[in-house]
Amino acid sequence: MPDSVASCHTAIVGEYAVEGHVPAEFIARLLADRPTGRGLALPGMPADAPGMGGDPSTWARQPVVLIAADGSVKPFAA
C-alpha cells in the first residue's frame, strides 16, 4: 500500500489487499466486480468509519480508494 493511504489494519481478501476500516459493502463490490488493482483503502482512521463508532448510516460515504496495479490511487466510493 502506498504511504498516502496508510491506515491501522491490512487484510488480504482473495487476491486483494484491504487497508483500514473499509465498509464491508465495498469489499463485497470489489470481489464481485474484480477490478484491476491491488486493493482498497480507507486512508487514516476516520472517527465515523466502521469499527470506530459513529453513525452506521455514514459508512457508505467514506472516501474509499482503489489502489491500481502501478500504485496510483483513484476513487472507488464516496
Q: Residue-wise pLDDT tens for the chain (78 aa)?
A: 788 898 888 999 999 999 998 988 899 999 999 999 999 999 887 777 777 777 777 766 778 999 999 999 999 975
Q: Where are the alpha helices (DSSP H) in the chain?
A: 24-33
pLDDT in tens, 44-58: 877 777 777 777 777
Task: Identify the pLDDT of residue 28.
Answer: 95
| pLDDT, mean over the chain | 87
User: Cβ distance 43 to 65 under 8 Å?
Assistant: yes
Helix (H, G, I), strand (E, B) or coil at 1: coil
User: Cβ distance 74 to 64 under 8 Å?
Assistant: no
Helix (H, G, I), strand (E, B) or coil at 4: helix
> Model-level pTM?
0.82
